[in-house]
Each structure stands twice: as C-alpha cells, then as structure tokens.
Chains A and B, each alone.
Chain A
C-alpha cells in the first residue's frame, strides 16, 4: 500500500509518503488459528 499525504504538493518539511505491506487474509487466519491453539494450550486442564 502507498500512503500519500492529501496535500501531494506539500513543500519540503511537509508530511512524507510511505509504503507498507498489508497482511494477506490467509496470514490473518493463520495468526488467529495460532492464537486459538496457544490459548488452548494455556488453558488449565480439567481434573478428572
């Protein structure tokens, strides 16, 4: 993604333009499933 100040023609010392990476949906799903898995590991086991 490209984040460009609304005022594209701002003089020097104005805001910068940046490039950045947005996570792909598949990565977010993997992250979420990983968190669920870790939460399951940390959950106290029920005593029988």
Chain B
C-alpha cells in the first residue's frame, strides 16, 4: 500500500477525504481515513490486510470491537460522497472518525451524517441520495 497524496481540504490542520492511495502497481484510487488517531503522509509505504465489507469478517480490521454495523455506517457515508457536494466531505470524514472514535469532536452536519448512516443501517438499505 502506498500513500500518494492528500487531496482534500485541511480542517484545523487535519487532512480530510479524499486521500489517494495505490496498491502495488494498481491504478491510484481515492480512500477515506477512518482512523483519527493515526497519521500517515504521502510517500508512506506499508503492508496492509484488505477486507471486503461484504464478508462480514472483521478479524483483520482495526476497529473490530466497534462491530460490523459501524463499518457499514462508515461505508454508507463513503458511498454518499459520490452524490454529495464536496464541501460536505470533511464533515462526512469527521462523521466516520467519530463512529470509530467517539471522542472526536463533530459539528451538527457531521452528526447529521451519523444519524443518516444509522437510519440506513437500521433499514438495511444500500441505496440512497443526499437531501443536502
């Protein structure tokens, strides 16, 4: 895994979604950090385990104690970036950080995304559109 670049705005000095990563010689792709308390920077290269959310197997993920629903909520928020104005992406990233680390401070818009993700998780729906 290689960290290529920060491509989102910095909020209080913290880079937010999207980041650009690359796996071996794959095409670069956009990713969202779900781990507020660990740092990375362009140029970093590391070994990573890849887990498909569809498997439901959390044995190799960092926040296994948060449970599958937390990852489903985070995944739903990430999916919504595709249909949501980019100015909301930092709040969506903070929402994801807060899901896994509740001590991360969030504003009302980030809380909105958490609420929506929780509703989607309860409904079991994988498709939705933003109303913002």
Interface residues of A (CB under 8 A from B): 1-6, 8, 10, 12-21
Contacts and interface: CB of A to CB of B under 8 A. Distances in A.
A5 B78 contact: no
Nearest to A11: B38
A14 B1 CA distance: 14
Contact of A21 (B19, B38, B79, B96): B79
Interface of B: 1, 19, 21, 23, 29-35, 37-40, 44, 46-53, 60-63, 71, 74-75, 78-79, 82, 96
Contacts, number: 90
Given A1-B53, A3-B49, A3-B50, 7 more contacts: A1-B50, A2-B34, A2-B51, A4-B61, A14-B38, A16-B34, A20-B21
B29 to A, nearest CB: 6
B75 A10 contact: no
17 contacts: A2-B53, A3-B23, A3-B31, A3-B50, A5-B48, A5-B62, A13-B39, A15-B40, A16-B35, A16-B39, A17-B35, A17-B38, A17-B62, A18-B19, A19-B32, A19-B74, A20-B31
